[in-house]
Amino acid sequence: MVKKGVMIVIGSLILSLGINFFLIPDHVLDGGIIGLGMIMNYIWGLKVGLTIICFSIPIFALAWFFYRDYFYNSLHGLLVSSFTIDVLQGLRAYHLPLDPAISSILGGALVGGGIGLMLRHHTSTGGTDLLAQMIADWWKVNVGFVILAIDALIIGASGYLFSLETLLLSAMTILSVGLVTMTFTSTRLLPEHPS
């Protein structure tokens, strides 16, 4: 339990560094609920972490009733990572003047590292990963495909709401997130929902 708690904190710090230091200063999106939180920040200046929690409430309500194991494995990760994202928002002022494509890749790698570290220790940030696990169980499809479909919808919205450049940079980000997450979880995945 202590080890899991430490991994949640470390994973949240890494993820928050990627979001606040690399992605948000260049107006780049991640996928999933994090991406929705970033959209709300860019448009209305809302806090990313708080928005993530608000968007996650219906997903966690579903998990509570139908997938209690998923609920417990993700709740702490959601709360700590969302809190850390908002606490570390001051990092945005220290953004390095890198090419936005480099920032997208580095930010994505850090987000993927944080998520992957948590997944490797049987926890997650919840959000669309949690929703994707439930949809994959209901429809008997691959969870990776569901995550990709949800991310594609959110990243697609970035091109519509912002610009083609944001769309392309965000696509680079989710590719980087996915590759690093897969690297962390290639030998250790979240347990399947018990039958």
Question: CA-CA distance, 128 to 126, in Å (whole number)?
Answer: 6
Quote the pLDDT of residue 189. Answer: 46
How far is residue 181's CA from residue 75's CA, in Å, rounded to a whole number? 19
Q: What pTM was estimated for this model as a whole?
A: 0.88
pLDDT at 26: 94
69, 193 Cβ separation under 8 angstroms: yes
Q: Which of 22, 5, 35 is closest to 109 using CA atoms?
A: 22
Query: Which of left, alpha, beta for 107 (phi over 0: left; psi -120 to 50: alpha)?
Result: alpha
Residue with tokens 């990760």: 77
The helix (H) or strand (E) run that includes residue 69 is: helix 68-87
Q: What is the pLDDT of residue 35?
A: 93
Question: Residue 175 has which token pair?
Answer: 């590719």
List, in sequence order, every beta strand (DSSP E) within the chain.
none
pLDDT in tens, the chain (195 residues): 788 899 999 999 999 999 999 999 999 999 899 999 999 999 999 999 999 999 999 999 999 998 888 888 889 999 999 999 999 999 999 998 899 999 999 999 999 999 889 888 888 888 887 888 788 778 887 776 787 788 888 888 877 888 899 999 999 999 998 889 888 877 544 444 444
Residue 194 is predicted with a pLDDT of 45
Q: Are the beta carbons of 72 and 123 closer than 8 angstroms? A: no
Please tell me the predicted confidence (pLDDT) of residue 193. 47
